[in-house]
Structure 1
Amino acid sequence: MRRSVIGSTMLCVTVILVSACSTMGVEAWERDILAKAEMQLPSDPLEAAIDDHIYFSKEASSGGRGFGGGGCGCN
């Protein structure tokens, strides 16, 4: 009896884990959102790092990417 309960539980867990990845595709109505410029990967890593630095400096949360400092931007 105990073996069948463990087997049933393992079967259910396996089915749930396998079915979790079955809907990974992008639907047609979602493609317009993903095609926006802000959803694209940055083409220039240096420009992306500078943009991050400016954003975090203005937010006063940190000095940018890997820098200490405040919101003044004078790390």
Structure 2
Amino acid sequence: MSTPPMPRRAARAAMTTALALAALATTGCAITPPQPWEKGALARPEMTMGGDVLGDRFAQHIYTSKENASGGNGVGGGGCGCN
């Protein structure tokens, strides 16, 4: 037993509804650039990927000391943690 085909009016209404929903969904994805008053916060050093160089070096030193290994970041060395 197969289902009977949809009437043309119902098929057209379903297509129109699907297209309207797709158009509505894509309008919510618009990305606007930051406004001039928002750029001050984005320019702070904390907002960059490498904003705290000393902190990054310290965290890497602690990691290599605890793991007793190094690699992938800087030069090789021991893992005792005593400078």
Q: TM-score, normalised by structure 1?
A: 0.47
